[in-house]
């Protein structure tokens, strides 16, 4: 969802610049709920106030909800069919590519120097090697940002 939201909100509509979008993604990751819903709520509020946030939130929630209800029923009914299993095996690498694409699209505006690069590398190691909770790392990184960038 992040590349799709970025393209629509930053590139096409111009409602946010990339730096502000990265901030929205960071805040969305630190608050309960999916990133798409949290960011849509913020962007909707920025563009059209409370009504805009309500409409944007519904616009992000309702279509996927309907689609997932339909696909969920179909999956439960046909999950053992070999062609369905083959399709899912083909989709998995694409999901990884989409996640990497989202990470790369925000990398250049997020990692703007040596200190942010070191923090990013340390967080990746902490998550992958030491299995430290990402929410804890998010909170600690925010605290570090307060210390390092307190203006």
Name 112's Cβ contacts closer than 8 Å, sequence gap at least 6.
none
In terms of domains, do 52 and 126 share one? no
- Find, among 100, 138, 99, the residue nearest to 119 by Cα: 138
pLDDT band per the 50, 70, 90 thresholds, residue 149:
confident
In terms of domains, do 65 and 123 share one? no
In terms of domains, do 63 and 117 share one? no
In terms of domains, do 115 and 105 share one? no
In terms of domains, do 28 and 64 share one? yes
Residue 114: its pLDDT value, please?
A: 92
In terms of domains, do 104 and 127 share one? no
In terms of domains, do 96 and 150 share one? no
In terms of domains, do 121 and 150 share one? yes
Q: Give tens-digit pLDDT for 82-125.
A: 999 999 899 999 999 988 888 887 787 788 889 999 999 999 99
Model pTM above 0.85: no
Please give the tally of structural domains in the chain.
Answer: 2
Residue 150: its pLDDT value, please?
A: 82
Residue 107: its pLDDT value, please?
A: 85
In terms of domains, do 18 and 71 share one? yes
Residue 55: its pLDDT value, please?
A: 96
Residue 11: its pLDDT value, please?
A: 93
Give the mean model confidence (pLDDT) for residues 131-145. Answer: 92
Q: Give tens-digit pLDDT for 42-86.
A: 999 999 999 999 999 999 999 999 999 999 999 999 989 999 999
Classify the phi-psi angles of 131: left when phi > 0, otherwise alpha if psi is within -120 to 50, otherwise beta. Answer: left
In terms of domains, do 93 and 146 share one? no
d(CA 47, CA 124) in angstroms, rounded, equals 34
d(CA 118, CA 67) in angstroms, rounded, equals 41
In terms of domains, do 105 and 116 share one? no
- Find, among 132, 137, 145, 149, the residue nearest to 30 by Cα: 137
Domain of 41 in residue numbering reads as 2-109
d(CA 14, CA 53) in angstroms, rounded, equals 17
Residue 57: its pLDDT value, please?
A: 93
Residue 56: its pLDDT value, please?
A: 93
**92, 109, 126 — which closes off a domain?**
109
pLDDT greater at residue 142 or residue 102: 142
d(CA 42, CA 59) in angstroms, rounded, equals 13
In terms of domains, do 12 and 86 share one? yes
d(CA 6, CA 70) in angstroms, rounded, equals 27
């Amino acid at each position: 969802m992040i590349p799709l939201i970025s393209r629509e909100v930053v590139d096409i509509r111009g409602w946010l610049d990339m730096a502000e979008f990265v901030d929205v993604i960071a805040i969305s990751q630190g608050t309960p709920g999916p990133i798409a819903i949290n960011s849509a709520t913020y962007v909707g509020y920025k563009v059209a106030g409370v009504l805009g946030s309500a409409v944007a939130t519904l616009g992000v929630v309702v279509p996927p909800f309907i689609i997932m209800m339909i696909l969920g029923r179909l999956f439960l009914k046909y999950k053992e069919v070999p062609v369905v299993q083959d399709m899912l095996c083909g989709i998995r690498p694409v999901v990884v590519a989409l996640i990497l694409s989202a990470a790369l699209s925000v990398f250049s505006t997020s990692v703007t120097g040596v200190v942010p690069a070191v923090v990013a590398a340390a967080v990746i190691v902490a998550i992958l090697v030491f299995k430290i909770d990402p929410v804890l790392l998010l909170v600690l990184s925010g605290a570090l940002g307060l210390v390092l960038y307190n203006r």
